Structure 1
């Protein structure tokens, strides 16, 4: 199983790079990107992952425009881990931690792209994410995060949309480690317990000369699995500034688990407390059709065959009953200190959460 990566001095164990340091089936290594025009006109979310112990590599591109939810997705057998192509998808690392290229070749589903990502801040190492339940490690992951700008071209149904860095922005992450992937496993003793967590809330906010990276993960009673709030400056000579324990007030749309808006607070920030008001511009249910969710036919790392390429097209109004789970939103961020920025507001409510009035797996208040 020698591959191109084996000619680089990057080995961590006494095996070819193709083999992970653990035989856990859930080991993964993924790219995530999103793209928006600092507005609600469209939102695109893209990803690619490798699952070495499942011998699968897959990719997706999700376009939300108007009420349309369109996904192009592909999966193949994993071979050389340096080969970041899956059917019409390709990711190229042009300048590590700074410039990458995302390509979706023209296909029968009318969505294609050739885009260059350039980081607006230095790539930032987020806290290690570790959850053990009844002895089993469910999560043990690392992730880097970065805000940035896009340039290139986006093709939608024959329309060429120029993408220029003056207004086309986004966020990306690279994560790797162990988390549930592939075909569902027997739940066993964990059947009556939440598989992941009850609240996940994540917001990388991009302002003119800095970005704020915010994470909160909580169990039902509000106890935190992890949290972080840090200001990362565009100038790499300036050290990141930790903002203390963050707090959240999420405005829930009546009769749903969907968030309309939010206020994220930083009461312990150096130099004085401040708030950021979050206004959603356009949302994308990234768990539907992409592999992030509970679709029986397509999950990250699920074996689909030597090569499969598919398209999914839904309407968020006509198919409303299908849309639940994790949500990514293009958002406007207005700080009480006067700055205005744009970025991602991501959230998931799964199971009870006392603060927001949820009492069972999928009830609504």
Structure 2
């Protein structure tokens, strides 16, 4: 857990925009590289400025390249899947009568290899580096804000996502809940070493909060009478604004002209609770899975975005701390 990296690439054909980001968290500092270009209707060009992706074997292998640029980040990273992707239930949500999101997503754990560098310091990435990738398509709130938003506009959003890697298994759990705690999209999937999937349609979970924040200190999820996942934060916080989420200038689908590339960084202090750039976060976690007579320990991330109330966990107000 000494080095954490993340990357994203988004195509918005209705806006004519493609954007990408690459972030590395090391020595307490999160370095962010972002790029955006106009697509001209082209959907097959998998490069934005210095960031590019190559599909080496569909649904099995890909390569992420970050060419040298005027910022501190570069690298060449290869992803090899551990299993066939899982498909999450379709996400459909409305604000009043207006469609807010309607998309489908597949998710896949895998191993990473290659190298990355920060300020010229090279880090070798071995095959013992575990991670996750996802691919979604459909409708999301992207681009410039609506000039005439619907009544009762965005005031509540509860999101948990927990991809976990174990020695020979993968586990995924997510939950979108309304303010009363009723899930409108929740699922868990346990993928065995042989690729067999066990689906849990209605898991239950319990949250413990870091005092004075909306950040979790522990999450426990019960999938059935004999399968329980416990997640405990074990590393630094990664701010999803590095990838564009909720960023006021580099939000997904924003128009920056024919091509623009930018970079910045977030210190550990700047990623503390209270900074709007660090409300949507991922935390590196220790994952402990009890499955009948079997126990596994591994690593994962705990993605969290909590806006508005959530009765079962005690959240009230728009951003009141727990």
> Which category of TM-score, normalised to the shorter sequence, fits these structures?
over 0.9
CA contact (8 A) 2:98 2:150 kept: no
In the alignment, which residue of structure 1 is the partner of 2:278?
Answer: 324
Residue in 1 aligned with 2:243? Answer: 290
**For this pair of structures, how many residues does the alignment match?**
316
Match of 2:199 in 1: 242
- 2:130 alignment partner, one of 169, 172, 186: 169
The alpha carbon displacement at 1:188 in A equals: 3.4
Q: CA deviation at 1:283?
A: 4.0
Spell out, residue by residue over 1:163-205, the C-alpha distance to the aligned partner (whole angstroms, 9 max, x if none): 111x201000000100100111135333x4435x431111111
Deviations 1:63-122 (A, max 9, x none): 222321210000001132110100000001100001000011112221111010001111
* Structure 1 residue 262 corresponds to structure 2 residue 223: no
Matched-pair contact (CA < 8 Å) for 2:28–2:236: no
> In structure 1, how many angstroms separate the alpha carbons of the residues matched to 2:162 and 2:141?
23
Displacement of 1:220 in angstroms is 0.9
Give 1:364's aligned residue: 321
CA distance in 1, matches of 2:134, 2:270: 32
- 2:227 maps to which residue? 274
Matched residue SS, 1:189:
coil
Verify: 1:116 aligned to 2:78, yes or no.
Answer: yes
User: Once structures 1 and 2 are overlaid, which stretch shifts more, 78-87 or 274-283?
Assistant: 274-283
Q: Could you say which residue in structure 1 is the equivalent of 2:56? A: 94
2: CA distance, partners of 1:319 / 1:160: 24
Q: Which among 262, 274, 286 is matched to residue 310 of structure 1?
A: 262
- 2:184 aligns with 225
> 2:116 aligned with 1:157, yes or no?
no
| TM-score normalised by the chain length of structure 1 | 0.82
Whichever structure has more strand as a proportion of its residues is 2
- Counterpart contact for 2:206–2:313, Cα < 8 Å: no
Which string of whole-angstrom CA distances, capped at 9 and with x for unpartnered residues, describes residues 241-292 of structure 1? 12342111222111111112221221x2xxx422221121234443324311
SS class of match (1:112): strand
| Structure 2 residue matching 1:355: 3-state secondary structure | helix
TM-score, normalization: structure 2?
0.93
State yes or no: 1:206 paired with 2:165: yes
Tell me, in whole angstroms, the C-alpha distance in 2 between the residues paired with 1:361 and 1:75.
31
Indicate yes or no: 2:154 matched with 1:194: yes
- Deviations 1:294-350 (Å, cap 9, x if unpaired)? x32111000011000000112121564424321112221112231111122111111
**2:23 is the alignment partner of 1:70:** no
Counterparts in 2 of 1:188 and 1:355: CA distance versus 1, 3 Å? same
Aligned twin of 1:107? 69
Contact 2:271 2:278 in 1 (8 A): no
Out of 238, 247, 251, the residue aligned to residue 208 of structure 2 is 251
Question: What is the distance in 1 between the residues matched to 2:317 and 2:256?
Answer: 33
Structure 1: where are the runs of 5+ without partners? 1-38
Work out the CA distance in 2 between the residues paired with 1:290 and 1:117. Answer: 19
2:86 pairs with 1:129: no
> Shift of residue 139 of structure 1?
0.9
3-state secondary structure, aligned to 1:298: coil
2: CA distance, partners of 1:158 / 1:285: 22
Any conservation in 2 of the 1:170–1:344 contact (CA below 8 Å)? no
RMSD of aligned residue pairs (Cα, Å): 1.7
